[in-house]
Structure 1
Amino acid sequence: MHTENKDEMRDKILEAALKRFTHYGAGKTTMNEIADDLHCSKASLYYYFPDKKAMHLAVLEKIAEAYFAEMEKVTTNITSAAQALHNIIDVKKAFISKFCRLEIFKIQKDGPSVFQEGVKKAKQIEIALTTEVIKAGVRTGEFKVDNAEQTADLLVQAIVGLRFSVPDHFSNDEELDEETFELVIEKQKLLVDFFIKGMKA
């Protein structure tokens, strides 16, 4: 089997898994169902992934790549840094809405250390992108900020914190219902507005 064909098959498996996970939820999807969708044996899946958790992690990595590609578009050709900060929230909202059944927070709690490292890396990427937006605002005179990196770090940490502090009852592996999710997004946008006002002062 050529490397290219192996890569193609792996991508097909991930696409099938993503489709199932997105529609039915990762926890309710079986390896047999994914194999049936692909018209292959379950053994074929295990050739590429040792278990469903490994496949789940690979799906999340694939989504993360697409997520940060969209985030990077926000930092390209910025005409308004304030609008770009709001666009980052919109990108986040769109991805979470689309992939809410992937049980990201459950695997974040129970997943292997490699996933925990991935979460840390993802946060650092988000802070770096937010820093670029703030620096762009400083260059154009839209913002007055002494330390863009520190401000970006504080903003991203605060935005993430709202995900856990807004719900009345919450555990790390719990997905938000639609109403609470919308409330979190609303508060995140208000928080961004407060930061923008402070940076324009």
Structure 2
Amino acid sequence: MHTESKDEMRDKILEAALRRFTHYGASKTTMNEIADDLRCSKASLYYYFPDKKAMHMAVLEKIAEAYFQEMEKEADNVNSATEALIRIVDIRKQFISKFCRLEIFMLLKDASDLMLQEKKKGMEREIALHVKIIKAGIASGEFNVKNPEQIAELLVQACAGLRFSVPDHIREDMDLDDEMFELVMEKQKQLLEVFINGIKA
């Protein structure tokens, strides 16, 4: 008979949490409900995660890895750098739309040291894949850029800034609603169009 390893049980907990968070929202989900879904005790959950916030973070790390892998696949297979940059925005939109109930926006406003470190790592990874796409555009003669690292950093930071500047009336306890989300994504596409026009050969 197969005995579950710690990693397998942890993955099962994260999958159950992801299903609950995606359907009902992270803030409305309790540890008891996740334990009931898994037919285990709440104490079993606390063996792997000290609290719900830690579990929430672990869920986000899991889906963020899938998100970055999808974007990196795009960066590794560039036919048109312009189209690749546009597809990155589409991947971002699909990801946020699919996982909107995970309260990603609220968590991004968390100023704890751990969250700041995670945001920095994510930003660096996103910049690196943009550098790769821009360099592919330079190699193909599509873009005329002297410093791809600088341009990639500027583009990623500008897009990230829009997530916070557009919903200027949002409260600390609010997440992006559908209307604000669509507005942010539309402005990211407009910004990208300006960038692409500015670096075309």
Instruction: Please say whether Structure 1 and Structure 2 have the same fold, judged by a TM-score greater than 0.5.
Output: yes
Q: Which segment drifts farther, 175-184 or 164-173?
A: 164-173
Aligned to 2:75: 75
Letter in 2 for 1:132: K
Aligned to 2:147: 147
2:153 is the alignment partner of 1:183: no
Shift of 1:173: 5.0
Aligned to 1:174: 174
SS in 2 for 1:21: helix
Aligned length: 200
Q: Which segment drifts farther, 98-107 or 52-61?
A: 98-107
- Percent identity, aligned pairs only, is 69
Unaligned segments of structure 1, at least 5 residues: none
Aligned to 1:103: 103
SS in 2 for 1:57: helix
Letter in 2 for 1:139: A
Aligned to 2:6: 6
Q: Which segment drifts farther, 84-93 or 180-189?
A: 180-189
CA RMSD of aligned residues (A): 1.7
Is contact 1:106–1:174 with CA below 8 Å preserved after alignment? Answer: yes
Aligned to 1:16: 16
Unaligned segments of structure 2, at least 5 residues: none
Letter in 2 for 1:75: A
Shift of 1:174: 2.8
Shift of 1:12: 0.2
Q: Deviations over 1:147-188 (max 9, x none)?
A: 000000111111111111222412455311111211111111
Normalised by the size of structure 1, how large is the TM-score? 0.94
Aligned equivalents of 2:41 and 2:131: distance in 1?
47
Aligned to 2:159: 159
- Cα gap change, 1:75 to 1:110, in 2 (>3 Å): closer
Aligned to 1:193: 193
Aligned equivalents of 2:76 and 2:172: distance in 1?
33
Q: Which segment drifts farther, 34-43 or 178-187?
A: 178-187
Q: Deviations over 1:110-153 (max 9, x none)?
A: 46422220111000100110011000000000000000000001
Shift of 1:108: 3.1
